[in-house]
Structure 1
C-alpha cells in the first residue's frame, strides 16, 4: 500500500487548520442559536378591572440563555416599576381610565446578546373601569325574592375548591374532608377557582364560638394578601395567600368553615359581620347563625342547616346563590 509522507510542519499546519475550522463552526453555531423567551405573569391575568384595589402585576423573563441584555417598555396607560433593564419588572395599572385613554396596555420585553441575536415578547392587558357604585336609592332596594330573580342570577355558580392541610413536621398537603382530624400546629389553607365572576365570603368558627373571616382579607400577619371581592372567573384564589397558611392554635375542639357565594355584593352580610366582631366571643356563634338565617331568607331559602360539602377538594358544581356550605373537622 502506498503511504504518503508528511513532515512535522505539515502535520502542525493540518492540526491548526482543523482546530481553526472547528472554532469557526462553533462560533457560527452559537451565533445562530435562537433565543427562546417567555414572560411569567403573576397574578396571571390579562383583563384588569380598575377598582382602585388592583395590585402590581409582576413580569419576569424566562430564558435558558444567561448572556442576555434586557429592556422593558410600556405602551399604554399605567407605569412600570423597577429597573427596566433587569430580568423582572412590575406593571402598575392606572386607577381608572379617563375619557380618551386607550383601554389596552402592552408591556414589551426586548432582549439581545453581544453577537447581535435579538428577540422580543409582548404581554397585552385589557383595561376595564369598575362599575359605577350604586346610587342610594339602588343600594336601599330590598333584595330580590325568588320570583324576581332573573334567569342569569338563578343559574348555579360553579367553584373548584380545595381545603388542604399538612402536619407541622411535614410539607405535603393533604385534603381535609368532613370529620378529618387535625392537630395544634397543623397548617391549612383554602384554594378556589370560580367559573363565573362572583362575591365570595368564607368564615371559620372555632370551638369557643369565635368567628373569623378568611375571605375577603387584605392582610395576614402584617403582610398584604389583597384577597378582595369580586372574584374573577378562571383565577386561582388562595386563603390566606399563595405561599401562606393558617395554623391551628392550642384551643382544641370542632372547627367549622362556612363558604358563601353570590353574583352580587352582599352589603347586609358585610355590615352585620363588622357589628358581630364587636360582640363578646361567647355570643358570636349564635349571632352568626342568626345572620346566616337572614341571608338565606333574603333568597327565599328555608334555613334548616347549612349544606355540607363532603368532597370540598373536588368542586361545587351547583352552588345556589345565598346558600351556605360548611366543612367541619376535629382539632385535637
Structure 2
C-alpha cells in the first residue's frame, strides 16, 4: 500500500530492446481491472493480477524492469505509449521500432534527470510464508515483497538475466 495516491508506471525492456508496459494493466486481457492510475492510498495491487503471472518470451539475455512513481500523470510517457500501441495495432514495424526507442530514451532520460535507484526489497509476509498459486497446471511460489523508501520521480531499475 502507498502513503499517498500516486501515478505508477512499470515498463520492461527485453534483450532485443522491445518495450512493454506492465503497469497500468487496464488494457491487458486477463489482468486486474483495478490496475490503473492513480494508485490509491491503502489499496493493495497485484501485477498483473492476484494469482496471475507474466510469461517470459523466448528472447534470452539481459532484461530490465523500470518503476516510476510520481504524483501527477506523465503525459509524455502516456502519449508515447499510446503511439506505440497504435503502431503495433497497425503492424507498422518501422513506427513500432521508432516509438519503442522514443519510449526507452524517455525512461532513460528520467533515470538520469531524476535518480536511478536499485530498489531495496523488503519481505511483506511475516515468517517468510510464500504465496503459492497454480496457473495452467504449473505451481508457483513467491515471497511477496515491496519497495522500501520510494522517492518522488525516482526511477527504480531491476535488471535480470533471462535464460
Answer whether TM exceeds 0.5 for this pair. Answer: yes
Secondary structure in structure 1 of the residue aligned to 2:157: strand
Structure 1 unaligned blocks of 5 or more? 1-192
TM-aligned CA deviation for residue 308 of structure 1: 1.7
Q: What is residue 22 of structure 2 aligned with on the other side?
A: 214
Contact 2:114 2:153 in 1 (8 A): no
Is the counterpart of residue 280 in structure 1 residue 88 in structure 2?
no
Q: Residues 229 and 219 (structure 1 numbering): CA distance in 2 closer, same or farther, change over 3 Å? A: same
1:244 pairs with 37, 52, 56, which one? 52
* Distance (whole Å) between structure 1 residues aligned to residue 56 and residue 107 of structure 2: 25
Number of residue pairs the alignment of both structures matches: 132
Q: What is residue 142 of structure 2 aligned with on the other side?
A: none
Greater strand share, structure number: 1
* Distance (whole Å) between structure 2 residues aligned to residue 248 and residue 208 of structure 1: 13
Is the counterpart of residue 303 in structure 1 residue 113 in structure 2?
yes
Q: What is residue 160 of structure 2 aligned with on the other side?
A: 329
Secondary structure in structure 1 of the residue aligned to 2:82: helix
Q: What is residue 42 of structure 2 aligned with on the other side?
A: 234
TM-score by length of 2: 0.69
| Higher alpha-carbon Rg | 1
Greater helix share, structure number: 2
The CA deviation string for residues 52-78 of structure 1, in whole angstroms up to 9 with x for no partner, is: xxxxxxxxxxxxxxxxxxxxxxxxxxx
TM-aligned CA deviation for residue 271 of structure 1: 0.7
Higher RCO (C-alpha 8 Å, min separation 6) = 2
TM-score by length of 1: 0.36
Q: Residues 305 and 196 (structure 1 numbering): CA distance in 2 closer, same or farther, change over 3 Å? A: closer
TM-aligned CA deviation for residue 266 of structure 1: 1.6
TM-aligned CA deviation for residue 309 of structure 1: 1.6
Q: What is residue 106 of structure 2 aligned with on the other side?
A: 291
Secondary structure in structure 1 of the residue aligned to 2:32: strand
| Structure 1 moving runs of 4+ over 6 Å | none
The CA deviation string for residues 211-234 of structure 1, in whole angstroms up to 9 with x for no partner, is: 1111111243x3352111111111
Q: What is residue 316 of structure 1 aligned with on the other side?
A: 148
The CA deviation string for residues 268-326 of structure 1, in whole angstroms up to 9 with x for no partner, is: 22012222443334x555423321255x3xxxx85397322253635331x23222111
Query: What value does the CA root-mean-square deviation take over the aligned residues?
Result: 2.5
* Distance (whole Å) between structure 1 residues aligned to residue 39 and residue 114 of structure 2: 28
Is the counterpart of residue 253 in structure 1 residue 85 in structure 2?
no
Contact 1:211 1:284 in 2 (8 A): no
* Distance (whole Å) between structure 2 residues aligned to residue 241 and residue 218 of structure 1: 10
* Distance (whole Å) between structure 2 residues aligned to residue 286 and residue 305 of structure 1: 20
Contact 2:11 2:19 in 1 (8 A): yes
